[in-house]
Amino acid sequence: MIRSQTCLLLGSSLLAASQAMAGDLLLWQTNSLSYLYGKNFAINPSIQQTVTFEHADRWKYGDTFLFVDKIFYNGKEDPNKGPHSFYGELSPRLSAGKIFDQKLQLGPIKDVLLAMTYEYGEGESEAYLIGPGFDLAVPGFNYVTLNFYRRQTEGPRPGDGVWQITPTWSYTIPAGRSDVLIDGYLDWVVDNDQNSRGTYHANLHLNPQIKYDLGKALNGPAKQIYVGAEYSYWKNKYGIQDNANLDTNQNTASLLIKVHF
């Protein structure tokens, strides 16, 4: 309960900070609430319902992304987390080009950034990530980013000092009277780590969303109400190696409703 309150306070603080940056500093911001329902999740209970709050903004010297998931296990209990859990990430980036007022462009690279992420959730799941980030110019895409992180975990759990590669993307396809938005990310932890607590294996998590702009189709505001699906493929989920006794390769999809405000 205390950790959940901490997440809510973190989100509230971020929104308050965004309001304080209004004017020349804050260029744009968006917030959303999503509901997802899916089956066949690995390791945790198979059926999950998730409510997600997201915040994204771009400001004078960089950008910020925050999400908090509240996950319900459909009446069943996870052995380690109980009937529900939460997980979130806070990912600010600082733009070298904007800070130094220089165009740092080379080939497809539009800008060079310092990328950071703080991961938090139930149990021993805190981690701090830092490394170089890049904004890329890819024809047809709304945006493409590529971040390289060095992961540092909290406490003695394995997974400390490994590298992670994270691209994100967004692409819009016209569909009759409306649009289909395809966006998402890939987290690829490329190496292993081992200590007295165990081994954290290299893993790959692909997580795109395919969403139809329902609001625009109904002659309402565009980019406000979406319906669609989220796909999740996670090889060696949580860094646990797949084996004959435990299937840790997740391959599932969830129905999605998303409202921006």
The confidence score (pLDDT) of residue 8 equals 45
Q: What was the pLDDT predicted at 4?
A: 44
What confidence tier does 54 reach under pLDDT thresholds 50, 70, 90? very high
**Which pLDDT score, from 0 to 100, does residue 22 have?**
54
Report the pLDDT value the prediction gives residue 235, as an integer from 0 to 100: 98
> How high is the pLDDT of residue 40?
96
Question: 118 by DSSP, 3-state: which?
Answer: strand
From the options 2.40.230.20, 3.30.70.141, 3.90.550.10, 2.40.50.1020, give the CATH code of 2-260: 2.40.230.20
Q: Which whole-number Å values give the CA distances from 159 to 41, 124, 169, in the listed order?
A: 22, 11, 26
Q: Which of 122, 196, 126, 118 is nearest to 155 (CA)?
A: 126
Average pLDDT over residues 232-247: 95
Q: Does 108 score more than 60 pLDDT? A: yes
Does residue 9 have a pLDDT over 50?
no
Which pLDDT tens digit goes with each residue over 123-147?
767 999 999 999 999 999 999 999 9
Compute the residue count for the chain: 261
Q: Rounded mean pLDDT of 228-233?
A: 98
The identity of residue 6, as a single letter, is T
Query: Region 42-62: what's the mean pLDDT?
Result: 97
Q: Residue 4 region, left (φ>0) first, then alpha (ψ -120 to 50), else beta?
A: alpha
Query: Is a pLDDT exceeding 90 seen at residue 66?
Result: yes
Mean pLDDT value across the chain:
91
163-175/127-136 β-pairing: unpaired
DSSP assigned state of 192: -
Mean pLDDT in residue range 161-167: 96
Q: pLDDT (tens digit, 9 = 90+) per residue, 79-107?
A: 888 999 999 999 999 999 999 999 999 99
The fraction of the chain above a pLDDT of 70, given in percent, is: 90
* Per-residue model confidence (pLDDT) at position 24: 75
pLDDT at 241 over 50: yes
**Is pTM beyond 0.85 here?**
yes
